[in-house]
């Protein structure tokens, strides 16, 4: 397994950052490798991603969700095995620290090589930078889901 941890500070209130993150179907707007996310229900979704030119599909389940604090997930089938958590930390009324921790299992030679040279870490960092630009430019979320899912 490869572990990636990246953090970014965004200039929006914690509720705005969290609310936007719960809008999984908007991920292709700021995550370069994500082609689509289809929300099946409150806890399940289907992903299509393109990594290193290869298209991958997988299902994921939200394992834990606590408003304004964290969203944790794990893959449940498909081409990619991974799990992760994103946490939200209120720095002040108008600024939030977003931290992503992602654990994934590279498949095949290309993914092992990419993991060895830090391509996954670079991709997560870029996605967080894109999220920052996206949410700060809007100033508000595109939607929200504030339900609790207990681990």
CATH value at residue 127: 3.30.530.20
CA dist., res. 2 & res. 102, Å (int): 8
Question: Is residue 92 included in any domain, yes or no?
Answer: yes
Q: What is the pLDDT of residue 67?
A: 97
Q: Examine the pLDDT at 80 and tell me if it is beyond 80.
A: no
Structural domain range at position 9: 2-21+63-138
Task: Retrieve residue 29's tokens.
Answer: 């707007």
Between residues 32 and 79, the one the model is more confident about: 32
Q: What is the pLDDT of residue 120?
A: 79
Q: Residue 51's Cα: distance from chain center in Å? A: 15
Whole-model pTM: value is: 0.92
Q: What is the pLDDT of residue 74?
A: 96
């Amino acid at each position: 397994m490869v572990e990636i941890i990246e953090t970014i500070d965004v200039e929006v209130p914690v509720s705005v950052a969290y609310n936007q993150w719960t809008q999984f179907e908007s991920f292709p707007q700021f995550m370069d490798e994500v082609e689509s996310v289809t929300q099946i229900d409150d806890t399940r979704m289907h992903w299509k991603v393109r990594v290193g030119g290869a298209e991958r599909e997988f299902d994921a389940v939200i394992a834990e969700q606590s408003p304004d604090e964290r969203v944790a997930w794990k893959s449940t089938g498909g081409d990619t095995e991974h799990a992760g958590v994103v946490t939200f930390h209120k720095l002040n009324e108008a600024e939030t620290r977003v931290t992503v921790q992602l654990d994934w299992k590279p498949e095949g030679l290309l993914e092992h090589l990419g993991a060895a040279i830090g391509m996954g870490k670079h991709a997560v960092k870029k996605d967080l930078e894109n999220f920052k630009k996206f949410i700060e430019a809007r100033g508000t979320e595109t939607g929200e889901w504030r339900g609790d899912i207990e681990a």
